Chain A
């Protein structure tokens, strides 16, 4: 039988078992790497941040109290890593913003987001405020419930819902998807 996240966490806390932690990494790396990729817009940087988040999670694993899910606890650590890295790279980010804004204006016109065009989705995400982007990524790309997203971000549930609603409306407008799908 497959061990639950909580059982694996207990094993890591008790014995610092790296293979148990490796299993947790395998289970949740997709969510963390996906979240970091959507938030940073840079796949290589996202992988570095995801690695840092897992290292930090290993170091702090004894502080996981099991109040929420392990996944939301992990995403909270990952988000903190993202914020810290962004603070450090503020100057570089400004330059990157200029470059991506230039690229955005060059690429305007394509609209095949429904076929899974990551560029279109990323372009639309980049137009949202950071809390909106975070809530949209957690709830739509990572498949979290609103309450899980609330645990992951540390925002009150009502605030998460507001950000999701506002972000969704913006995404709708940006992706040009006003029509009702039957």
Chain B
């Protein structure tokens, strides 16, 4: 046995003896409980970013329809087939409605995905 071999064995043994006494179950529980939180908060952040993006997109869409030759056709069709929707449109702007709808959808997904397991 060389000097290095002997020291290696003693060093390994010393580390083993000095090993702290870890509470495995408690640690595993803490990690697993954080997994759910992490998934949910990430999904909510993504959802928030998505709804903000949709609001911006909706603002642009309104301008697109205003300048489109199909505006009257589209407008008549929507108002004719869905008067409730038309009434809603007078209360809130399209971008707000789009943002709310998308936020609700993403919120529901964010709520459901982490609960699958």
Q: Which residues of A contact B (CB under 8 A)?
A: 15-18, 21-22, 25-26, 29-30, 33-34, 37, 43, 47, 50-51, 54-55, 58-59, 113-118, 121, 140-141, 143, 168, 171-172, 177-178, 180-182
The answer to whether B35 and A118 have CB atoms under 8 Å apart is no
Q: How far is the CB of A11 from chain B (nearest CB, A)?
A: 11
Q: Which of B13, B31, B116 lies in contact with A25, CB distance below 8 A?
A: B31
Q: Which positions 63-115 of chain B face chain A at CB distance < 8 Å? A: none
Interface size class of B (residues with CB under 8 A): 20 to 34
Q: Which residues of B contact A (CB under 8 A)?
A: 1-4, 6-20, 22, 24-25, 27-28, 30-32, 34-35, 38, 116-117
- Cα A115 to Cα B15 in complex, Å, equals 10
Given contacts A29-B27, A55-B34, A181-B10, 14 further A-B contacts (CB under 8 A): A17-B117, A22-B32, A25-B27, A25-B28, A33-B27, A43-B20, A51-B31, A116-B17, A117-B18, A121-B18, A140-B8, A172-B7, A180-B3, A181-B1
Given A29-B27, A33-B27, A171-B11, answer yes or no on A51-B34 (Cβ-Cβ < 8 Å): yes
Note all chain A residues with C-beta closer than 8 A to B3: 178, 180
- Cα A175 to Cα B116 in complex, Å, equals 53
Task: Name 12 A/B residue pairs within 8 A (Cβ), A-sorted.
Answer: A17-B117, A18-B35, A21-B35, A25-B31, A33-B27, A51-B30, A59-B38, A117-B18, A141-B15, A141-B19, A171-B11, A180-B6
The answer to whether B18 and A177 have CB atoms under 8 Å apart is no
Note all chain B residues with C-beta closer than 8 A to A171: 7, 11
